[in-house]
């Protein structure tokens, strides 16, 4: 909720605020076996690609690691 609230103030200073969900990351042996779990480098690459494409119009959005909107 703090990030959502911050997104109302940030544009005045030229800052774009988003929430970015990394997805299921296999940070330990049990998690990596979950269906759809990503390895850390893959998750980071996806999130970096999303960040690179952000514009001020994305301010206040909650995105997954593919850049798709997630529900608040």
Residue 44: per-residue pLDDT: 96
Q: What is the mean pLDDT of residues 46-55?
A: 97
Average model confidence (pLDDT) for the chain?
92
pTM of the model: 0.82
pLDDT higher than 90, residue 72: no
pLDDT higher than 80, residue 2: yes
pLDDT higher than 80, residue 12: yes
For residue 48, what are the CA distances in angstroms to 1, 2, 67?
23, 22, 10
Q: What is the mean pLDDT of residues 20-30?
A: 90
Q: Report the Cα–Cα distance between both ends of the chain, in Å, rounded.
A: 9
Q: How far apart are CA 65 and CA 10, in angstroms?
A: 22
């Amino acid at each position: 909720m703090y990030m959502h609230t911050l997104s109302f103030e940030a544009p005045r200073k030229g800052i774009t605020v988003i929430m970015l969900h990394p997805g299921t990351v296999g940070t330990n042996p049990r998690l990596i076996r979950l269906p759809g779990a990503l390895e850390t480098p893959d998750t980071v690459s996806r999130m970096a690609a999303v960040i690179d494409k952000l514009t001020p119009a994305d301010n206040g959005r909650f995105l997954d690691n593919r850049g798709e909107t997630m529900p608040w």
